[in-house]
Chain A
Amino acid sequence: MRRLGGLLEKELRHHGALLAMLLAFVGSIDLVLLFGASVGPRTITMLEAHANFTRVFLPLVALALGHRLVVREYHERTQRFLEALPVRRIEVLAVKLGLGLAVLGLVAALSLGASALAAATREPLTLRWLGLVALRTAAIVTTLWSALFAMGLLGRWRVPTYLAIGLVLVFLDQGTAFEVGRFGPFGLAGERLVLERFAVPWEELGVSAAIAAGALALAITLALVDEGSVAESLAKPMSRRERIAVGVVLALALIGFEVVEPRRDKPVYAMVHPQTVHRPDARVSVQHVDPSLRQDAEALADAIAGDLVRAREALGYRAPLGPVHVASRPSLPAHARESVALADRADGVLVRAPFGAPGFDAAGLRAWLLERVVDHATEGRAAFEPNAWVRAGSAALLVHERPPAPGLAAFHRRHRAPRYEALARYRRTEERFGAEVARALAASAAFAFVEVAGSDAWWAFAREVLAPPPPGVFAMLRPTARARFEAAVDPAAFDAAWERALTAPSDVPRARGWIAIEPAEGRLRAVRWGVRFEAPPPPGARCALAHAELGPFDEVLADADLAREEVACGALGEDGATLAGGGYGAGDRALFVVELATGGAPVRLLAERRELD
Chain B
Amino acid sequence: MTEPLVETRGLVKRYGKVGALAGLDLRVGAGEVYGFLGRNGAGKSTTIRVLMGITKPDGGLVRLFGEAVRGTPVHLRQRIGYVAQEQTFYDWMTAGRLAKFVSRFYPTWDDAAFAHHARAQAIPLDRKVGGFSGGMKMKLALALALGHRPPLLILDEPSAGLDPVARREFLERVREDAERTGRTTFFSTHLVDEVELVADRVGILDEGRMRYEGSVAELSARVRQAVGLVGEAPLAPGVRRLSDRELRGVRRTVYEAEHPAAFGALGLALEPLPLEEIFIEMVRR
Contacts and interface: CB of A to CB of B under 8 A. Distances in A.
Interface residues of B, number: 26
Given A78-B89, A81-B89, A227 B105 contact: no
A84 B101 contact: no
A80 interface: yes
B138 to A, nearest CB: 14
Contacts of B101: 6, 9-10
Contact of A84 (B52, B78, B90, B106): B52
A3 B104 contact: yes
A14 B92 contact: yes
Given A3-B105, A6-B105, A87-B105, A80 B90 contact: no
The 8 closest A-B pairs by CB, nearest first: A6-B104, A86-B77, A227-B55, A86-B78, A80-B88, A81-B88, A86-B74, A85-B105
Interface string B90-107: 111100010001101110
Interface string A1-35: 01101100110011000000000000000000000
Interface residues of A, number: 20
B82 interface: yes
Nearest to B145: A84
Contacts of A84: 52, 54, 82, 84
A83 interface: yes
Contacts of B77: 85-86
B271 interface: no
Contacts of B97: 13
Contacts of A76: 88, 91
8 contacts: A2-B104, A3-B74, A9-B104, A13-B93, A86-B75, A86-B105, A227-B49, A227-B56
A609 to B, nearest CB: 51
A179 to B, nearest CB: 43
Interface in A508-553: none
Interface of A: 2-3, 5-6, 9-10, 13-14, 76-78, 80-81, 83-88, 227
Contacts of B80: 86
A10 B90 contact: yes
A77 B78 contact: no
B55 A80 contact: no
A80 B84 contact: yes
Interface in B215-253: none
B11 to A, nearest CB: 15
Contacts of A14: 90, 92
Contacts of B89: 78, 81
B179 interface: no
B14 to A, nearest CB: 11
B67 interface: no
A46 to B, nearest CB: 41
Contacts of A86: 74-75, 77-78, 80, 105-106
Interface string B64-86: 00000000001101101010101
